[in-house]
Amino acid sequence: MESEDLVQRAGRLASWAARTGYSLGKRLPGADSAERTLRSFEQKALAELRRRLESASDPYLATLSDAPALPQTSNGHNDSSSGAVPLPMPAEPLRAGMAALLNRSTHLSRDAARDYLYATILRQLTPDEARILSTLSDGAAYPLVDVAERTSLGGAGRVVLRNASTVGKAAGVSANDHVPAYVSRLIGLGLAEIEDESDELSTQYEVLLTDETVRRAQDLVRRARFIRHTLRISPLGLAFWQACDPARTIV
């Protein structure tokens, strides 16, 4: 199919550009032509992928694409003086999107509804977050620490860092400084959960307190208090991983 060939050719050109370190600054013979060809295929491939998504009735794309325009007068300007007062532009696509979801919910089976949820979660994950979830998927627990300012009575005051963990290094993430944000997002999506401090992780807590991100947070307060928790995959996270695990063989 022509569209399939288009996407594949664009992918090959993009791969070639990455391997050769091609950039606009390299003005070798034929570089301008190669640049134009690469950009042309990129644009066509993106347009084709967008068409496929829209044809699948994705409410997130379709409703934003079909935003209603204001009535126009004969001179081409938007007419706001007619009897009906138009709603702001963002309002109708949002309502149409909700209508599409409600309509779809009446036709979804239980399995289809689950897959729709998982697909929505999947599109929100970053590559580093996927690595962390993969690491948590075996059920292992990891230390979790919040850094707060110690009050005069020894309690916890202002929290300057939440959800620091060694799970990022264990997973081999690319941006270790963002592990607290990654963990917070996984918890927010319901894929991971926080438990009480675990005595079995005492050594790992001490290692975590030497982490550069934790040390920087500690410097933000006069006296720091470390609040210890435990990080595990949640039941939803485990079910999600089992459904999405690329290494799992369906029997």
Summarised one tens digit per residue, pLDDT across range 195-223 is 999 999 999 999 999 999 999 999 998 88
Closest C-alpha among 158, 147, 148 to residue 212: 147
Give the separation between CA 11 and CA 163, rounded to whole angstroms: 38
Give the separation between CA 43 and CA 197, rounded to whole angstroms: 51
In the numeric block, the tokens 């594949």 are attached to 8
DSSP 200: G
Phi then psi dihedrals of residue 175, to 5 deg = -115, 85
Give the CA distances from residue 55 to residues 36, 49, 61, 170, in Å, rounded to whole numbers and listed in that order. Answer: 29, 10, 10, 41
Give the separation between CA 144 and CA 50, rounded to whole angstroms: 40
Structure tokens at 116: 């729709």
Residues in the chain: 251
- Does position 120 have pLDDT exceeding 50, yes or no? yes
Summarised one tens digit per residue, pLDDT across range 19-56 is 444 443 444 455 566 556 656 655 665 565 555 544 44
Summarised one tens digit per residue, pLDDT across range 128-180 is 999 999 999 999 999 999 999 887 776 677 899 999 999 999 999 999 999 99
Structure tokens at 181: 């944000």
Query: Which CATH number describes the domain made up of 127-244?
Result: 3.30.110.190
With vertex at residue 28, the alpha carbon angle to CA 24 and CA 29, rounded to the nearest 5 degrees, is: 125
